Structure 1
Amino acid sequence: MCVFFLALQPSSRYVLVAANNRDEFFARETTQAAFWDDAPFILAGRDVEGGGTWIGVSTDGKLATLTNIRGPYQQPKRSGAKSRGTLVSEFLKSDCNQTPQDYCQSVLSNAHLYSGFNLITARIKPEVEATYCTNGDPVTSHSLSPGVYGLSNERLDSPWKKVTRGKSRFSECVSHLQTGAVDEDECERQLLDLLCDQTCLHPDENVPTLGFPEPVLRDLNSVFVPPTSLVDSGLYGTRTHTVVMVSASGEVRYTERTRAMPVDLAQPRWETKRFTFHAT
């Protein structure tokens, strides 16, 4: 179960800080973060099967991320549904004059074409603004005020223990960055450490069991999901950490740490890529 933390306008020095874990089946083919050949203004990893992504940024200062819905308001998986990852990439490709709110409204007008999703879209120019939308029950969209947010596979800021614990640690890291108590390198290290948190937060009465056996549900309830065998579906777990920091001057720092494939359970290998650019 993926998790995403976001700080909007945390200080005069930084306008956006984000940290994300992508949890996915290890057999699903994925490329690491890079500027896309067919859209060189997009920086993101890529889901080879669906063609989209789970989180990414653009050189003109947009960011988007997406999680699936796993909860009491999830919609049935739609037969022939469009890939949800394209909701992220299409926003990153969208006209810079289209606001996050406008984009989310256009998405929700075709919400029936997708299985359940949560989507956050943001842009930093001409001013910082962000929007959350979902096609869960009920379908909804709203702008995000400055502050700190947490998202997993339920509604934004749903009180899952992994979300509330992670959000608390995330807020602390960001507060250290905004006061100058730590620099970007140390903040990034702290955020990556947060994304590796395997603290067991089970049982959690807020998380639906979804029919998973007890040991699997326990693994799913930590910020970092260790390699877990989902019955008849193969290994699943946290495959990618992403940290994004955007300064008030528009400098974007994007760091991705990815589990090397094929997976080695005895000696896991992780590969780190870091990119910096100035949003135009």
Structure 2
Amino acid sequence: MCLIAFAWNVHPRWRLLLAGNRDEFHARPSAPLARWSEGSVIGGRDLEAGGTWLGVTDAGRCCVVTNVRDPRDPQQGVSRGLLATDFLRGDADATAHADALLQTAADYRPFNLLTFDAQDAYYLGNRPSARKQRVEPGVHGLSNADFNTPWPKTRALMDRLRHWMASSPDDEFAPLFTALADAHRAPDEQLPDTGVGLERERWLSSAFITSEHYGTRASTVVAIGYDGRGMMVERRFGPFGKFEGETALAFGTT
């Protein structure tokens, strides 16, 4: 997952409303959104490492992970995707999980992690050092930098999420997918300098990234109500942004 905007405890219907894009190499094998045959995870699945980038459970837990863009930082350690499945399959609440993860965060590849349960939400990261931050009610954003780092595409998606909450029916997610499909690139003067060079910064500055070998693989919206019931919708894409399918799953207590 490389771009996320979410609203936590501010929408009248949805306790959590999250919209995000997963950017990845197209050659990396993945399974689409589904209920996993083992355990309680609902989400897409990375078939290389076995974890997920974004998942939920019927108990109203949600977890999403991104990497950290820094070409100078070696990608060594335990797979980040396992962080999400460990939280989703675990029994610890978000607070206890955050406290425990701080002790082992350095063992994982560079990551940003968001965890949500019925009461609390946390941001956790391990670069430059392990840290946690309780998420306050409001609209927040995350990409491949620190929590709420104001990269242009992160700010833009947060603004469009705010607009959706103010002007759209609460079960009509099409405008959020339109926002996630935005291929507009930021002006050079607004680009971050993450060490990948100007041309690559330009290419990665859009919400929706396309190319033959790397790009946006999935756009996903998650909505979890205060009653624990929710909906997860995933749209999938191949090389050059070719649409490959959509899956929508309801979850939560009945």
TM-score, structure 2 as length reference: 0.93
- 1:226 equivalent to 2:206? Answer no
Tell me by how many angstroms 1:101 deviates: 2.2
Q: Distance in 1 between matches of 2:47 and 2:215?
A: 18
Aligned partner of residue 19 in structure 1, secondary structure: strand
Matches within 5 A, 1:261-276: 263=239, 265=240, 268-276=242-250
Residue from 224, 227, 240 that aligns with 1:249: 227
Residues 67, 110 of structure 2: 8 Å contact kept: yes
- 1:152 equivalent to 2:130? Answer no
Tell me by how many angstroms 1:142 deviates: 1.3
Residue from 74, 77, 81 that aligns with 1:77: 74
Q: Distance in 2 between matches of 1:278 and 1:84?
A: 26
Percent sequence identity over aligned pairs:
31
RMSD value, Cα: 2.0
Aligned partner of residue 115 in structure 1, secondary structure: coil
Unaligned runs of 5+ in 2: none
Query: Counterpart of 2:82?
Result: 86
Tell me by how many angstroms 1:10 deviates: 1.8
Query: Counterpart of 2:104?
Result: 110
Q: Distance in 2 between matches of 1:253 and 1:70?
A: 30
Tell me by how many angstroms 1:166 deviates: 1.3
Residues 188, 202 of structure 2: 8 Å contact kept: yes
Aligned partner of residue 232 in structure 2, secondary structure: strand
Aligned partner of residue 188 in structure 2, secondary structure: coil
Unaligned runs of 5+ in 1: 229-234
Residues 10, 174 of structure 1: 8 Å contact kept: no
TM-score, structure 1 as length reference: 0.85
Query: Counterpart of 2:130?
Result: 139
Quickly say closer, same or farther: Cα 1:29–1:75, change in 2 above 3 A: same
Q: Distance in 1 between matches of 2:72 and 2:16?
A: 31
Q: Distance in 2 between matches of 1:175 and 1:109?
A: 40
Matches within 5 A, 1:20-39: 20-39=20-39
How many residue pairs get aligned? The number is: 254
Aligned partner of residue 49 in structure 2, secondary structure: coil
Moved over 3 A (4+): none
Q: Distance in 2 between matches of 1:12 and 1:259?
A: 32
Residues 161, 204 of structure 1: 8 Å contact kept: no
Q: Distance in 1 between matches of 2:131 and 2:138?
A: 20
